[in-house]
Amino acid sequence: MLQIQKILALLWQTKIKERKAYHYLQLSGLLELKEFFKIESTLNKQKKLEKKIEQKLKLKKVFITGSGNHAFELALKLLALKKTDEIILPVFTCKKLGQIIEKYCKPVFVDVTKNITVNPKEIQKKINKNTKAVIAIHLYGQACEIQKIKEICAKNKIILIEDCAHSLGLKIKNKNAGNFGDLSIFSFRKSTNLANGGFICINNAKFENKIKKLNENKSNFDLIKNLFGLKVLICKIIFGNSIKMPFLVYSSLGFKGNLINDKKLSRIELSIALIEIEKIKNQIQKRITCAKYLKNKLKEKILWTEKSNSSLMRLPVLLKESSQKNWNLFYEQGFEVGSWYYTDFLVNCKNKQKNFPVASKLANKIMPIGLDGLKKSDLNELIELIKKN
């Protein structure tokens, strides 16, 4: 296996690709290949995946969706919103959530705590008679103060939507993330190696019948989608999650846009998801080992402690300055970094950073780093880079 990994690294020249390739080589063990070639209808596979997620993550009622955003929009549709309604969400998150809310009602952004997740006190301040829901996000996989937020929502009779897009497999005091909200949403694109997909979890029975109708699938293009699904998988192996890959290439291959990123996953994508779900626990354990090593050497530069509940989808690191120049520097050295969510924060707060003092202070310094596949030598390299920057 190591030899193949080295050859692939030589061919592709970068560590990110090497790590991704290695991950897929591990993925395609014989047992796992069986999953791909099992003759099963897409619907059966989807049901199997839903059951597996319910069992593995101890979640109530799961419905597979085309993406995390699709799951989020379904959650909003379930609320039967009026234009005057308001939905509270943290300002430090992806801009797409606010944009989706704007289609139905008004997003109300609030500041975050020092661990960059939504601040319950700020939520409380913004609640009024128009408030219909609160979005609580476990950003980068770090648990937000979900129990407090749940109590605030219950007291004010407001729906809680738990956004677990980054936190597949996260445990909060022995309970899996996704069990706290009336509705919770997940993203395979953010939390696994899949390019698409997500799911919504219904914890409040009153939404169950309605979701079945809303999430109905009428697509007849399964064969085409399977081919695109395969293409996406192959491109993921070759290019990894390259942040430099031009958007156009991404879209034409079906990474983004509407070609395959619609309301349904192909059989191949469902098979990969079935495999990925099995690996989550192990993957989180490996990330924790890496995070402990980094924390020990870098102390307060790492915005994580052993006591934090986190799936460590990304490890938040504090730099002297978080900028495109710095992200490129880390990326060129083969580390998975991105702007999660500096630029989106500026859009969300409409450039009024001063209204969000904590988020604004953190936004200038924070850089989330992916830990999957890092070896000790990589971690030492990373430590030196962080110290310099």
Shortest reach from residue 164's CB to ligand PLP, in Å: 8
**DSSP, res 91:** S
Please state the φ and ψ torsions of residue 39, each to the nearest 5 degrees.
-80, 110
Distance CA 263, CA 302 (A): 38
Which one, 293 or 338, has the nearer CB to ligand PLP? 338
Residue 67 binding ligand PLP, by CB under 6 A: yes
The residue type of 225 is K
Residue 232 binding ligand PLP, by CB under 6 A: no
Among 87, 94, 146, 170, binds ligand PLP (CB under 6 A): 94
Residue 76 binding ligand PLP, by CB under 6 A: no
Among 27, 45, 46, 69, binds ligand PLP (CB under 6 A): 69
Which one, 187 or 348, has the nearer CB to ligand PLP? 187
Q: Give the residue nearest to ligand PLP (CB).
A: 68
Among 115, 176, 184, 187, binds ligand PLP (CB under 6 A): 187
List Cα–Cα distances, 299 to 3, 319, 338, 365, in angstroms.
36, 12, 22, 15
Sequence-distant (6+) residues with CB within 8 A of 185 are 68, 71, 72, 75, 161, 162, 163, 164, 165, 198, 199, 200, 201
The sheet with strand 159-163 has its strands ordered as 61-65, 198-202, 183-187, 159-163, 131-137, 86-90, 106-110
Among 42, 46, 93, 184, binds ligand PLP (CB under 6 A): 93
HSE-CB for 29 with a 13 A CA cutoff: 8
Shortest reach from residue 359's CB to ligand PLP, in Å: 14
List Cα–Cα distances, 367 to 106, 230, 283, 303, 373, in angstroms.
29, 32, 21, 10, 18
Shortest reach from residue 67's CB to ligand PLP, in Å: 4
Nearest to 211 by CA among 70, 86, 52: 70
Distance CA 76, CA 70 (A): 10
Shortest reach from residue 368's CB to ligand PLP, in Å: 11
Residue 198 binding ligand PLP, by CB under 6 A: yes
Subset of residues 128 to 167 that bind ligand PLP, contact rule: CB under 6 A: 137, 163, 165
Shortest reach from residue 84's CB to ligand PLP, in Å: 24
Mapping DSSP onto H, E and C, the string for 257-295 reads CCCCCCCCCCHHHHHHHHHHHHHHHHHHHHHHHHHHHHH
* Residue written as token pair 């870098």: 298
Query: How many chain residues touch ligand PLP (CB under 6 A)?
Result: 14
Which stretch in 64-72, 113-121, 214-222, 262-270 sits in contact with ligand PLP by CB under 6 A?
64-72
Residue 169 binding ligand PLP, by CB under 6 A: no
List Cα–Cα distances, 12 to 30, 235, 241, in angstroms.
25, 12, 14
Shortest reach from residue 189's CB to ligand PLP, in Å: 4
Which one, 99 or 355, has the nearer CB to ligand PLP? 99
Residue 72 binding ligand PLP, by CB under 6 A: yes
Residue 191 binding ligand PLP, by CB under 6 A: no
Q: Are 368 and 315 in contact (CB under 8 A)?
A: yes
Shortest reach from residue 323's CB to ligand PLP, in Å: 21
Strand 61-65 to 183-187 pairing? unpaired
Shortest reach from residue 36's CB to ligand PLP, in Å: 22
Among 45, 189, 264, 301, binds ligand PLP (CB under 6 A): 189
Residue 190 binding ligand PLP, by CB under 6 A: yes
Residue 359 binding ligand PLP, by CB under 6 A: no
What residue ranges bind ligand PLP (CB under 6 A)?
A: 67-69, 72, 93-94, 97, 137, 163, 165, 187, 189-190, 198
